[in-house]
Every structure is written in structure tokens, then in C-alpha cells.
Amino acid sequence: MLDPKVTSVVGIDVAKASHVVCALEAPSGKIRQRPKSIAATAAGYAKLLQWLARWGGPEAVLVGLEATGSLWEPLHDALTHAGYQVLVLNPRQTSSWSQSLGLRAKTDGIDAQTIARGLLAGYARASALPTETVQALRELTRARRDLVQARTAARQRLLDELVVVFPELPGHLPAHTDLATPAVLHLLGAYGSARALAEAPLADVAGLLAQHRGGRWTQEQAQQLQALAKHSTASTRAVRARGTVVSTFARHLLELQRHIDDLEKAIAAALHDDEVGKRLQEVPGVGPIHAATIRAELGDVTRFTRLDQVVAYAGLDPRVRQSGAFVGQRKLSKRGPGALRRALYLAVLVATRYRPEWRERYHKLLARGQAKKEALTILSRALLKVIYHLLVSGDSYDADKIKPRAVVAAVGA
């Protein structure tokens, strides 16, 4: 229900370079301002504040913004600092308004007017804005996730090239080393092919390996690698070009790892003084990175009033398709953050290996005919429920309470 004090509603469609503003009179719905663009700059925000002052000032104006990525944040800050009430709206919500109005066209002007009409009708439900800690962890964990994905792709690309220029190397590395070992990456960064390694002075190869492995790589091992390179079945085509590619990706992996390490240090610092993050790490299977991800993607749990809301937010609620005699397969809705589901899944995977109470529940699900992935998905939902209870109640984790019990029907992962 719209507050009687509000005499104007303003819908703003947010974009990168500019925003489109539409204002309606309340409660009549008469247009005060047809959709008009302002620049996403200080000058553009100053112009908007002048318009808002003409339409009634802070107490009489309600502003709605669509939560488009993080593009809304500077405008939100400018408006709230000026004293205006601003609702940040979920795109799903505004999209449903468009559908209910039967709108077929989609333009920035139409979107701004649709937001204003939704505000006028009293339909708007503001999104919960993240705290400073949650926002910081969200930025850090998402950046780390992007770099980890880039690292995985770079490793595969490096392996694909080695199959041609030095196929024996991956299977003949010394114990406790692999292609991700810094010493090996430094080696490939300097000598990107079997031919280059075979022609290099042995002392240089041994020195490079010893330097980047703390002196634990012997000259004999370096000699064995060089002998392997001399008898390699590597291709003789485009060797120099392919060697350059290998060296480039090896150095790229080293650089990516340094950036990932920097982000993980920043994540640890953000968790250091965060009580919720510390409590999350008391849950079996939840280490610092998973705790940071769950904290970032789940946000403040006090905004949920029921347990099923948390499950639905995470996308771990079952979705059923049924019409008449047709009953479709039960599947997860997967409507929430995928990173949250993955963190819960990986945490449960660890918990079922090392904690007897979770391992017992896992094997009981398997005994009832559940596939491994389905059983882990069910336990992911159970772990989320445990996390929600601990954060809301302030209780400590109690392994005795995590006992096998009647479980819900499995849903597709």
C-alpha cells in the first residue's frame, strides 16, 4: 500500500552510461515527467535532484530502481544521501509487472514507466541491500571464482599444447609434482618444448628447478627430465611457435595463482572480524573459502522469516510440473545463486568423508536407492537448514543432533 504522504512516484531504468527517469503523480497516476534520459554522472544526478525537488521533495517522493548488476549503487547513494526513499527492485519483480500489463515492446522508457506504475500500485517489495561485509565478500569471492575458472581453462590449454610439443612430461614428473607446481611452470615458462629443454645447459635447468622448489629438486631429476626431452616423440612442426604458446600459458598460470593468493588473503582479512563468517567455519566441511561464499551469497539470514524461504532462495526447493494427468519429473528450481549451491555441495562432500554423522546420513540415502549426486544434493539442503538454524538461534553445532531421519524425496540435481 502506497504511503498517503507520497505525492509522486519515480521509476528509473538504470544503465551504464545513462538512466531513464519517469515520474507519475500519486495517487492519480497523471504523468509528471515522461521518460527522459539523464547522464550517469554527477551533473546528471544533480539534474535529477532538481526534478525531484520540484515534484515534492524527500518526504513526498518515492523512487524505484531496478537492481541491474551494481550499476544502481552510485545513483542510490546520491539519492539516499539527499534524503530520498529509494526502493531497489529485483528484476524478476519488474519483469512480472510488464507481463501483467501485457507489454510486448521493451525499451528503457517503457521499463522506467513500468517501475513507476508498480510503485503507484503499491506492488513494490524492496530488495534487501547487502551489508558492507557481505558486499566486500561478494566482490572478492566472485573475482576469485572468475580467476579459478580462468586457471582451469589455462591448465587445459597448456596440457593440450604439451601433448604435441612434449607429450612425455605430464606422466614423468617427480613425485608430489604436477603441471600446476610452480617449479614446473617456471621450467615451461623458460623452455616451452622438448626441443628447447633438450638444448638447454643442464646447469641452467637444474638451477631453475632448485630455485623454485626450495632446493628440493636434485640435479639427477633435472638430468632425467632433460634426457626425457632428448628422446621425446614430440611433433617437429611449428615447434618454436608452439613452444611460445606453452611458455605464455605457463607464465599466465603463475600470474593467475599470484592474483588468486592475493584475493584469498583479502577474503581471510574480511572474515577475520566477522562473527557470522567465524560461525560458518564451525560447520563441518565449511572452510574459509566456502564460508566466505556462503556468507556473500546468502547475505543476512534475518531477512528470511521461514526456513522454506531460505531453501527457495538457494534454489534447492523442488519444482514440480503437473497438468491434468501429466506429472513431470521433480527437479530443483535452481533459482538462487549457483555459487551458493556449489559451496554447500562441496562442503557436504567434505563432511560426508570426514564427519561420521554426515557420512551415516549419506550412506542411509544411498541404501534407499538414491544416486550419489541426488544424495549429496539432499544433504546440501540439510546443511543449509543447519546453517540457517545456527545463525538465527546462535546455537553451537552439535553433531549428536545430526542423525539420520526420514528424508524427503530426491530431486534432480
Residue entry with cell 549429496: 376
3-class secondary-structure state, position 250: helix
C-beta atoms surrounding 262 within 10 Å: 14
What's the whole-model pTM score?
0.86
pLDDT at 218: 82
The percent of the chain in helix, strand and coil, each rounded to the nearest 5, is 55, 10, 30
> Contact, 118 vs 94, CB < 8 A?
yes
pLDDT tens digits for range 143-153: 999 999 999 99
pLDDT tens digits for range 9-47: 999 999 999 999 999 999 999 999 999 999 999 999 999
Percent residues over pLDDT 90 in the chain: 69
pLDDT over threshold 60, residue 409 = no
Burial 36-54 (b: 16+ CB within 10 A, else e): ebbebeeebbeebeebbee
Instruction: Please report which confidence band the pLDDT of residue 108 belongs to, taking 50, 70 and 90 as the band edges.
Output: confident
The chain-wide mean pLDDT, for the chain, equals 89
Work out the angle between the directed axes of helices 42-55 and 73-81 (0-180°, nearest 10): 50
pLDDT at 413: 46
- The arithmetic mean of pLDDT across residues 1-6, rounded, is 85
Q: How far apart are CA 244 and CA 224, in angstroms?
A: 23
3-class secondary-structure state, position 134: helix
User: Running DSSP on this structure, what letter comes out for residue 274?
Assistant: -
> Contact, 192 vs 198, CB < 8 A?
no
Instruction: Please report which confidence band the pLDDT of residue 411 belongs to, taking 50, 70 and 90 as the band edges.
Output: very low
Instruction: Please report which confidence band the pLDDT of residue 328 belongs to, taking 50, 70 and 90 as the band edges.
Output: low
Higher pLDDT, 64 or 175: 64
Higher pLDDT, 217 or 120: 120
3-class secondary-structure state, position 85: strand
- The arithmetic mean of pLDDT across residues 324-342, rounded, is 77
pLDDT over threshold 80, residue 48 = yes
> Contact, 384 vs 310, CB < 8 A?
yes
List the beta bridge partners of residue 215. none
Sequence-distant (≥ 6) Cβ neighbours of residue 205 within 8 angstroms: 187, 191, 197, 222, 225, 226
List the beta bridge partners of residue 318. 332
pLDDT over threshold 70, residue 406 = no
